[in-house]
């Protein structure tokens, strides 16, 4: 049976879709030529002294482009918040997942990051053929994947995942400010700022602090 959606060509002739968008990476172009559905994956929260590490997986709709997508760290908080809603509205599918403080302390932050990304990909409802991962490490996935250094600035789907993960984690830390007042979580989002370290010295670690991180570990030994 002839596929009515594909032109008939001679056996010796191969016609591939022409990918001319300068914003598309070689890795994306190869997946597009093969007609594969791919997701972008990134995480946020490896550096802070407290809170979960959060990851996101996003399948973007090529017919619904989202301008201004880039590495979430290069965006203002206001722009990230706006893009967060736009991504959720326009994406074919997305999933936000996390690894807990207890898991970070138990298996270390690298493995917890990989675990959060695995959960994000596995949480997608739309079947995905390939995952493009920010960084140089690959999580344990049941589908092919490619690691891309600085992928959050090169691949729109990874940029989108970066924004979702960052905004969700920031919102989680704002919620933690109400539960554990005095540490300034809503302002510094758990990073080891001077204000956070001073509060940590004065109040001691709270349940969401990462026990294996040096500034927290030192206080627990005192």
Show binding-site residues for a divalent metal cation: 42-43, 134
CB 209 within 8 A of CB 102: no
DSSP sequence for 38-53: EEEEEEE-SSSSBS-E
CB atoms within 10 A of CB 134: 26
CA-nearest of 166, 169, 167, 198 to 183 is 198
d(CA 160, CA 109): 22
CA 68 to chain CA centroid, Å, is 17
| Long-range CB contact pairs, 101-106, < 8 A, 24+ | 101/50, 101/51, 101/52, 101/207, 101/208, 101/209, 101/210, 104/52, 104/53, 104/210, 104/212, 105/210, 105/211, 105/212
Binding residues: 42-43, 134
CB 173 within 8 A of CB 53: no
Phi, psi of 132 (to 5 degrees): -105, 120
State the DSSP H helix or E strand holding residue 107, giving kind and residue range, or none if neither. helix 101-107
């Amino acid at each position: 049976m002839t596929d009515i959606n594909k032109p008939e060509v001679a056996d010796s002739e191969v016609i591939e879709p022409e990918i001319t968008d300068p914003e598309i990476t070689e890795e994306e172009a190869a997946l597009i030529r093969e007609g594969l559905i791919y997701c972008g994956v990134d995480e946020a929260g490896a550096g802070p002294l407290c809170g979960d590490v959060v990851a996101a997986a996003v399948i973007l709709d090529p017919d619904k482009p989202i301008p201004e997508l880039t590495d979430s760290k290069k965006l203002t908080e206001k722009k990230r918040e706006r893009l967060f809603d736009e991504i959720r509205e326009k994406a074919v599918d997305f999933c936000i997942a996390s690894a807990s403080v207890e898991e970070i302390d138990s298996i270390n932050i690298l493995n917890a990051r990989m675990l959060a990304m695995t959960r994000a990909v596995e949480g997608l409802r739309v079947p995905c053929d390939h995952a493009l991962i920010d960084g140089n490490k690959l999580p344990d996935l049941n589908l092919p994947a490619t690691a891309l250094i600085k992928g959050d600035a090169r691949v729109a789907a990874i940029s989108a995942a970066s924004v979702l993960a960052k905004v969700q984690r920031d919102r989680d830390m704002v919620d933690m400010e109400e539960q554990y007042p005095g540490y300034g979580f809503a302002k510094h989002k758990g990073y080891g700022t001077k204000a956070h370290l001073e509060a940590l010295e004065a109040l001691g670690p709270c349940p969401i602090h990462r026990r294996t991180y040096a500034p927290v570990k030192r206080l627990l030994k005192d």
